[in-house]
Amino acid sequence: MNTPNRVTEIATENNLPIVALVQSAGVFLPKQFSVFHKGGQIFRDLAVRSQLGQLSCAVVFGSSTAGGAYHPALSDYSIFVKDQAQVFLGGPPLVKMATGEVIEAEELGGAKIHASVTGLADQIASDEFDAIRKAREWVASLPAQPVAPEIQTPRPPRYSAEDIMSLVNPDIRKPFDMGEVLLRIVDDSRLSVFKPSYGRNLITAWAKILGHTVGIVANQMPVINSDEASKGAQFIRLCNQQDTPLVFMHNVTGFMVGPKAEHSGIIKRGAQLVSAVSCSRVPHISVICGASYGAGNYAMCGRAYRPRFLFAWPTGRCSVMGPDQLAGVMELVERSSAASKGSALDEGELAARVERFRDGVQRDSECYRTSAVGLDDGIIDPRDTRDVLGMCLDIVGAGGVKGAEGHRVLARM
């Protein structure tokens, strides 16, 4: 992680463009706990550099999966090598496990698909040498480098905060009605909902919390589709135009995978949301209520995206993927590796390893573990959420709230 961050520092300090040669399988799953949160900084830096006019180009040489897909998506320009570059959030094995669909990698996210269907690829190169030539041409084409908000008297919610304890299921695999939770947090239980009939898995609304006007981004269902990503990005831009702080309420397992999601532009739309979060300049406050997994954590302003404050409920869980999904992927990898080598697997030993891995991920993702290593600012009682948010809004409001000028996101989106 140090090398790419240092390259970014040098480029930023000297106002230089970055050309990245991309081929990535994403997070190294056995080390996901130590890599996941720091890894998000790479994507944030790409979005912020674009906002500052410090451009980047991704040259995709091979397969770039999961987190690796966001590098070309968040770059200002992307070049894909024909018959080699393959970019998707979830590869064919994960798609099969998640949806039961069987699809070839090239059909799911090959260079041709991204050039003609999703629009993620700006140019197709015939081979790696041609890709480098096109990157040189891109560099040559670049130009030479040359108050606190008013507080109204708060009105208490119409519903008791005690209800939150029965609304939220301790089993985070079961979704809960985030809208009902919000009605027990905001003043007078009033929400001014933005696009209520579009992208319904994500709640975007204006409200007041102890007199402070806020924008709220909350997961109604754990999966983010293209519609939710577009809606969230637009709402964040509006809050920046209005100098309104943002509160993120997490219960997200990530972005949707599969051919339908990929072809609907989930990488591009998801990157648009991540970019909007990255480039937003109003204060962000995040609360991890349930799951906060993978790129969904990034899109909801997880630790890597530098919220002013980040808290977790006792039901909060945070990792690159859910324990069952991670264990399933690791089992698929081991079986594939054994098959390619023609070696036999000890099913009992494999099952034991998978179970140990699942248990380890479960422990590492629990809020008591993540809080112990400083990945949040504290575990709070869900019933105290309104008061905690109010105190935080008092603090951020005292310094004045100012959104990003025009809040430009990546022009290519």
Predicted confidence at residue 344, as pLDDT, reads 80
Q: Kindly indicate the confidence band of residue 410, based on its pLDDT and cuts at 50, 70 and 90.
A: very low
Q: Tokens 């451009």 belong to which residue?
A: 55
User: What's the CA gap between 282 and 407, in Å, rounded?
Assistant: 10
Q: What percent of the chain has pLDDT over 70?
A: 94
- Quick one: average pLDDT of 346-373? 86
Q: Which two tokens stand for residue 376?
A: 């949040």
What average pLDDT does the segment 241-256 reach? 94
Domain ranges of the chain: 2-141, 161-316+366-398
Task: State the average pLDDT over residues 334-348.
Answer: 82
Of 34, 26, 135, 27, the closest CA to residue 76 belongs to 135
More confident residue, 285 or 338: 285
Predicted confidence at residue 14, as pLDDT, reads: 62
Q: How many helices (H) and strands (E) does the chain have?
A: 17, 14
What's the confidence (pLDDT) of residue 172?
81
The kind and range of the H/E element at 34 are helix 32-51
Domains 2-141 and 161-316+366-398 share a fold: yes
Confidence bin at 67 (pLDDT 50/70/90): confident
Task: Give the distance, in angstroms, between the CA of residue 97 and the centroid of all CA atoms in the same chain.
Answer: 21
**How long a stretch of residues is the chain?**
413
Pairing label, strands 56-65, 246-252: unpaired
Q: Look up residue 190 and give its two tokens.
A: 């009033």
Residue 340 pLDDT class (50, 70, 90 cuts): confident
pLDDT digits (tens, 9 = 90+) for 373-394: 888 999 999 999 999 999 989 8
Q: What share of the chain is helix, strand, coil (3-state, %, to 5)?
A: 50, 20, 35
Q: Which of the residue ranges 222-226, 260-264, 300-304, 359-363 would you say has the lowest mean pLDDT?
A: 359-363
Helix residue ranges, H only, 86-177: 92-99, 105-109, 111-113, 128-141, 164-167
Q: Name the DSSP class of 88.
A: E
Question: Average pLDDT for residues 32-36, to the nearest whole number?
Answer: 78
320 has a pLDDT exceeding 70: yes
Do 188 and 157 meet the contact criterion of CB atoms below 8 Å apart?
yes
Position with higher pLDDT, 369 vs 329: 369
Task: Taking the CA atoms of 351, 352, 355 and 361 in sequence, report the sign of the dihedral they define.
Answer: negative
Examine the pLDDT at 412 and tell me if it is beyond 70.
no
Is residue 9 pLDDT above 90, yes or no?
Answer: no
Distance, CA of 101 to CA of 291 (rounded, Å): 25
Residue 408, pLDDT above cutoff 80: no
The predicted model scores a pTM of 0.70
What residue type is assigned to position 294 of the chain? G
Predicted pLDDT at 3 = 52
Structure tokens at 283: 């204060």
Residues 101-127 as b/e (b if ≥16 CB within 10 A, e otherwise) read eebebeebbbbbbbbeebebbbbbbee
What does the mean pLDDT of the chain come to? 89
- pLDDT score, position 82: 96
Residue with the larger pLDDT of the pair 355 and 148: 355
User: What are the phi and psi torsion angles at 79 (to 5°)?
Assistant: -120, 125
pLDDT in tens, 213-233: 999 999 999 999 999 999 999
pLDDT-derived band at 150, boundaries 50, 70, 90: low
Q: Which residue has the higher pLDDT, 401 or 5?
A: 401
Which among 219, 275, 285 is positioned nearest to 252, based on CA atoms?
219
Instruction: Decide which of 407 and 337 is more confident.
Output: 337
Question: Containing H/E element for 297?
Answer: helix 294-299
- Enter the tokens of residue 15: 């106002």
Considering the domain 161-316+366-398, what is its CATH architecture?
Alpha-Beta Complex (3.90)
The letter for the amino acid at 393 is L
**Does residue 51 carry a pLDDT above 90?**
no
pLDDT of residue 406: 60
Please give the angle made by the CA atoms of 37, 229 and 365, to the nearest 5 degrees.
Answer: 30
pLDDT (0 to 100) of residue 1:
38
Task: Determine the pLDDT at residue 146.
Answer: 47
Which CATH number describes the domain made up of 2-141? 3.90.226.10
CA distance 379 to 374: 11
* CA gap 306, 290 in Å, rounded: 19
